[in-house]
Structures are given as structure tokens and as C-alpha cells.
């Protein structure tokens, strides 16, 4: 299991279009992937789950993955967030 904390800095946070892009990338991995905020953990491959976290600009989240491509999954998803979803 691999995890990494990242701060969401894009203007709208992880909402609507950015969340859809994020989830599409998460679904490209075989590993199970989660997003954690505070005490909550949701499936990173679920639009409703990710949106339910209410992630706005400046929110710190943790990306967690477990599986055969876990390291690549975490690195890719953290990279997308750090690039403000411009990949």
C-alpha cells in the first residue's frame, strides 16, 4: 500500500470537470485507489464518492493505492493534482 498527501490548489477544487478527469485516470489503474480527507475515505474511482468529500481549493487530501500498480497510481494522481489538472 502506497499513499501520498497533496494540497488541491486549482480554482474550483476537486469538483465537476476536474473530478471527472481525476476519476477517469484513477480507473485506468488495476489497483484499488482511495481519496482520504479528514476521517473519510472514498473510492477514487467513484464520482459520487469523490464529490461527497467537498474538496475545495486549499484542501489537503491523501491518495492511497493498493495493488500491482499502486506506486504508479499514486504518483500519477498526485501529479495531476499538483499540475492543477492540466495534464
pLDDT at 82: 94
| pTM, rounded to two decimals | 0.94
pLDDT at 87: 54
pLDDT at 15: 85
Domain boundaries along the sequence of the chain: 2-82
Q: Which positions are catalytic?
A: 15
3.90.190.20, 3.40.50.10540, 3.30.1340.10, 2.40.50.100: which CATH number matches 2-82?
A: 3.30.1340.10
pLDDT at 46: 97
CB-neighbour burial class of residue 57 (10 A; exposed 0-12, middle 13-18, buried 19+): middle
Question: How confident is the prediction for the chain on average, in pLDDT?
Answer: 94
In tens, the pLDDT along 42-51 reads 999 999 999 9
Low-confidence ranges of the chain (pLDDT < 70): 87
Amino acid at each position: 500500500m502506497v499513499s501520498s498527501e497533496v494540497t488541491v490548489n486549482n480554482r474550483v477544487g476537486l469538483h465537476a470537470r476536474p473530478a471527472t478527469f481525476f476519476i477517469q485516470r484513477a480507473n485506468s489503474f488495476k489497483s484499488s485507489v482511495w481519496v482520504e480527507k479528514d476521517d473519510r475515505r472514498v473510492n477514487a474511482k467513484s464520482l459520487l464518492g469523490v464529490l461527497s468529500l467537498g474538496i475545495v481549493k486549499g484542501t489537503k487530501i491523501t491518495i492511497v493505492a493498493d495493488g500491482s500498480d499502486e506506486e504508479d497510481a499514486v504518483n500519477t494522481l498526485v501529479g495531476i493534482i499538483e499540475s492543477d489538472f492540466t495534464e
